[in-house]
């Protein structure tokens, strides 16, 4: 294969990985909207769309191993392909978490704590995802560190949200019979799972940023 065709394949890979991240970001945004509006049709679309992402993921994985095997890339190119190979795993996991949000939206009856700002947390994760992918696509090392710092903020916000739920459970005045308690506990568990899943989305974007930094500078400080 001529050299310029190889270069074209590398830039195709970059575009395809970025394309996958855009689809995943759409699913995440839709999952959040479904939670906010209780739109079960939208929620079901997110759940059903997961197969498409999974196929995309396996196709991209093959693109990566073919490039490594057939072109025997070295140094920077090899780190770029290895980074792409890892990043698609994180994207696929983020799509799984978006699917979880869709499932919670289908199962939810009522929002037990409207004071918890799920949409605000979701907004942060969407920005982190976009930034981590921009760091990868544009080889922007500053952005890698920015995503890592932002994750501390997200973790703190998630902790505050969980603590608020716990505190309100302790302080709540509402008297409930046993049936009400059952339903209420399911709503509370689902809310805590939602917070946990968003925090995990943040972790995956940090993985992406960490891989991008390793690709750019051979610097592994964010990898663990």
Partner 1 sequence: MSREQYQDRLSELRTEVVLLAELVLERYEAAVEAAEAGDIRQADQIVRQDDEINRWYLELEGECIDLIARHQPVASDLRLITASFKIITDLERIGDLATNLAGRTEYDAGIHPAVDIRSLGMTAAEMADTAVEAYERDDADACRTVAADDDALDSDCEATTEAIIRDLITERAASDATKSADDGVAERADSPAAVEKTTRGLLTVRDIERVGDHAVNIAARTLYMLDNNEALLY
Q: Which residues contribute to the site for partner 1 (CB under 8 A)?
A: 50, 54, 58, 61, 65, 68-70, 72-74, 78, 82, 85-86, 89, 92, 96, 159, 162-163, 166-167, 169-172, 181, 185, 188-189, 192, 196, 220, 223-224
Nearer to partner 1, 89 or 127 (CB): 89
Alpha carbons 18 and 122: distance in angstroms, whole number: 20
* Shortest CB 21 distance to partner 1, Å: 17
Closer Cβ to partner 1, 37 or 189, answer by number:
189
Shortest Cβ 212–partner 1 spacing (Å): 16
Which is nearest to 112 in space by CA: 168, 155, 61? 168
N- to C-terminal Cα separation, the chain: 37
3-state SS, residue 22: helix
Asked if residues 135 and 150 have their Cβ atoms less than 8 Å apart, the reply is no
Nearer to partner 1, 37 or 54 (CB): 54
CA 43 to chain centre: 17
User: 85 with 175: CB under 8 angstroms?
Assistant: no
Q: Which residue has the tokens 């270069």?
A: 7
Q: Which is nearer to partner 1, 57 or 105 (CB)?
A: 57
Residue 96 CB, shortest distance to partner 1, in Å, is: 7
The least CB distance from residue 68 to partner 1, in Å, is 4
């Amino acid at each position: 294969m001529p050299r310029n065709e190889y270069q074209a394949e590398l830039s195709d890979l970059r575009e395809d990985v970025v394309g996958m991240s855009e689809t995943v970001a759409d699913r995440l945004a839709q999952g959040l909207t479904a939670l906010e509006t209780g739109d079960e049709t939208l929620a079901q679309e997110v759940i059903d769309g997961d197969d498409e992402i999974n196929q995309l993921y396996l196709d991209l994985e093959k693109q990566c191993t073919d490039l490594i095997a057939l072109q025997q890339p070295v140094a920077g190119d090899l780190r770029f392909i290895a980074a792409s190979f890892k990043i698609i795993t994180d994207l696929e996991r983020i799509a799984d978490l978006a699917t979880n949000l869709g499932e919670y939206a289908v199962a939810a009856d009522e929002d037990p704590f409207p004071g918890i700002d799920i949409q605000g947390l979701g907004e942060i994760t969407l920005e982190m995802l976009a930034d981590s992918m921009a760091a990868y696509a544009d080889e922007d090392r500053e952005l890698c560190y920015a995503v890592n710092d932002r994750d501390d903020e997200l973790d703190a916000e998630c902790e505050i949200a969980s603590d608020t739920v716990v505190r309100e459970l302790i302080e709540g005045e509402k008297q409930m019979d046993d049936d009400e308690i059952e339903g209420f506990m399911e709503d509370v568990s689902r809310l805590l799972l939602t917070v946990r899943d968003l925090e995990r989305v943040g972790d995956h974007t940090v993985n992406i940023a960490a891989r991008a930094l390793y690709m750019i500078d051979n610097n592994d400080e964010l990898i663990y």
